[in-house]
A and B are shown apart, each in its own frame.
Chain A
Amino acid sequence: MTVYLVDEPFVDIAIAYAAKDSTAQIVLLQDAVYSAAHMRASGPVYVVADDIARRGLSSRMPPSVHTISYDELVAMMERERVVNFL
């Protein structure tokens, strides 16, 4: 598995790369969470709870997007390969 850490302005290119990776797990960070509502990714998509709370988006996340804490994000990064699009 590969964790794609993604922020603006690299969302589109990150999704294009991740689309070619069947093991991709996309984590939208910071302003990239604004893209979560219209995200078309083949693999799982995650957002950090703190990022969506700061932007008032907690109730607007689609059910397909998983909300995680920093603790869970770090645990993911420990286990998997990490690619930066930040």
Chain B
Amino acid sequence: MPRSIVPLSGRCNRRGYRSRSKAALPEQRQETLILSISTLRDALTEFGIVLRGGPYQTQRWETAYGMADAALKRSDGVTIFLYMDGVYNALAPQDFESMKKLPKDHIEALLDRGAQIFACLTCTDNRGLEDGRAYLKRVQVTGSTEAGEMVSKCDRIINL
């Protein structure tokens, strides 16, 4: 089955906040809580990383991981768009005996921590990767047009 094509929508960071029942809190406390959450949201930075480099040949994939890891540690939002040869990073069947951490391991680790990772559909098909059938399951395939939408919604863009 071909993978579904996922359009991007909303903020690039879709991490949610758990809602609590307002009825359990006095009105003034509710206002304080809402203000605190609002302030926290404003304080977070949305990082968008466009990763154009494939694995191994350059350091780009490792730099992307280093920045994304640091951003997530600071509770910032991270969205990675795999573009051009960057789509190879998302392939699930990777093997490199002498490397402790492969690109797919970094991607899985970032996904586990709340990063969103998308791969360009056109780049995928251009490379014969058949709609990304061999990608890690949680990597979403989307159009490059939607990538522009992602870029416009992030606070900082890093083009690797």
Chain A positions near chain B (C-beta within 8 angstroms): 5, 29-31, 48, 50-51, 54, 69-71, 73-75, 77-78, 82, 84, 86
Contact = CB atoms under 8 A, between A and B. Distances in A.
B101 to A, nearest CB: 13
Contacts of A77: 45, 47, 156, 158
A71 B158 contact: no
Interface of B: 45, 47, 58-60, 63, 66-67, 69-71, 73-74, 76, 156-160
B76 A74 contact: yes
Contact of B63 (A30, A69, A84): A30
B63 A29 contact: yes
Given A30-B60, A73-B70, 8 more contacts: A48-B66, A70-B67, A71-B70, A71-B74, A73-B67, A74-B67, A82-B156, A84-B159
Nearest to B155: A78
Nearest to B45: A78
B76 A70 contact: no
A74 B47 CA distance: 9
Contact of B157 (A54, A69, A84): A84
A70 B118 CA distance: 23
20 contacts: A29-B63, A30-B60, A30-B63, A31-B59, A48-B66, A51-B63, A54-B59, A70-B67, A70-B70, A71-B70, A73-B70, A74-B70, A74-B74, A78-B76, A82-B156, A82-B157, A82-B158, A86-B158, A86-B159, A86-B160
Q: Which of A50, A74, A75, A78 has the most CB of B within 10 A?
A: A74
A49 B74 CA distance: 19
A70 B63 CA distance: 9
B143 to A, nearest CB: 22
B80 to A, nearest CB: 14
Contacts of B158: 5, 77, 82, 84, 86
